[in-house]
Amino acid sequence: MAAPLNRLGLVVLRHSSRRPYRRKQWVRFPYHRPFHSTSTFHARETDDDDSSSRRAPPEPYTFNYSSLDPETRHHYDLLSPEEKTQFQNDEKAAYEHMTSPALESELQGLVSQAVYDIQRDIPQREPRPRITPGLMAMGEVDEQGSGEDDEFDGDDISSIAHGELEQHREIREYARIAAWEMPMLGKLAKPFELPSKDKPLRFRYTTYMGETHPAAKKVVLEFCTRDLPDLTEAQRIKLVKLVGVRYNPETDLVKMSCEMFETQAQNKRYLGDLVDTLMAEAKDATDMFEDVPLDFRHHKWKPKLEFPEKWKMTQQRKEQLETNWRQKALKDQEREEAGQLVDGPKVIEQMLETVAARRPAAATVPPPRGQGRQRTLAR
């Protein structure tokens, strides 16, 4: 690194000393005195120093009028012949001084000293040991230098437990919100009012309680074609033909959604502009699409099951059922008085008593004890 810096410093110092001659008026150019450095540093011997000592001697100085800049050339033309000669001699003396080996050696010593000071001030960076990635980071770029996985010492919980703990923290946070912040929202509550007839559009939004979800920006629009103001029946039919498959013939509802933009407000604005465009096209009497028939093949008709008329409870049906219940109660009372009514629990009790009376009493004989052991001992 020292050799390139030496060459660079010499080139910079050499070229910086050859600046153009610019003066407003003629002043005698002073001779340059030899440069003496106070540095006691001796340049280290390198291959570059040997090459500089073997460098070819500089070319002799020759005055070139065309190399002067326009301003210096103008002032040079105003000089007398003696002053021109003095000007050329001064330029030659400066050139010989700047290209002298002594000055070049001094400059090289200064550059070497500067390089040495810089290298001494810059701390040497120790090579970082190569860290082998652990099992969990295998195949990934280890930007933090975590290294191998530490051995489990039994002083921590598993990742699943950490997830459960994070969920518990989130639940506690929402519980605090419900306990301390939500009651304050009651001051901002407004009574519910049914939408008026001049507001036929219904927008539906979806929120995920603060979580980022791609469907959170989606807005759904529903409206009934018969609720739109200032539409005749012919214009309404044309509107149904324009919306196409978004129309439900059973409920007379048009359903559209938008999620092209990043925010819900932008998607809602787009749907509102789309409805305005459809209304303008429906009211355009240039072409009412009378030759285009209504096509509802996109809709699947669902069968509707109707409750039978005979099963419906009417006042006449209620009176008839009450009359039947009274007649059955009178018949049961007559059978009970005649002894013809069967009492189920009483019949079961009589049957159990009869079965218990017919069963003979079995003698309880205790089982023999110790015979098996005696036989084993006898053998």
Please state, for a pLDDT cut of 70, what percent of the chain lies above it: 73
* HSE, side-chain direction, 13 A CA sphere, residue 241: 16
Q: Residue 216: which residues within 8 A CB-CB, separation 6 or more?
A: 206, 207, 208, 264
Q: Which of 208-217, 237-246, 341-350 tops mean pLDDT?
A: 237-246
Checking if the pLDDT of 289 tops 90, the result is yes
Q: What CA–CA distance (Å, rounded) separates 103 from 94?
A: 12
Predicted pLDDT of residue 361: 60
Q: What CA–CA distance (Å, rounded) separates 53 from 44?
A: 14
pLDDT digits (tens, 9 = 90+) for 306-322: 888 888 889 998 999 99
Q: What CA–CA distance (Å, rounded) separates 29 from 52?
A: 30
Q: What CA–CA distance (Å, rounded) separates 207 from 209?
A: 6
Q: Residue 217: which residues within 8 A CB-CB, separation 6 or more?
A: 259, 261, 262, 263, 264, 267
Checking if the pLDDT of 19 tops 90, the result is no
Three-state SS at 24: coil
> The whole model's pTM is what?
0.40
Checking if the pLDDT of 56 tops 80, the result is no
Q: Residue 64: which residues within 8 A CB-CB, separation 6 or more?
A: none
Within 10 A of 111 (CB to CB), how many other CB atoms are there? 20
Q: Please state which of the ranges 14-18, 57-61, 217-221, 287-291 shows the lowest mean pLDDT.
A: 14-18
Burial class (CB in 10 A: 0-12, 13-18, 19+), 259: middle
Q: What is the three-state SS of 125-183?
A: CCCCCCCCCCCCCCCCCCCCCCCCCCCCCCCCCCHHHHHHHHHHHHHHHHHHHHHHHHH
Helical (H) or strand (E) element with 110: helix 101-121
Bridge-based pairing of strands 219-224 and 202-205 is antiparallel
Checking if the pLDDT of 145 tops 70, the result is no
pLDDT digits (tens, 9 = 90+) for 225-242: 999 988 999 999 999 999
Q: What CA–CA distance (Å, rounded) separates 87 from 106?
A: 27
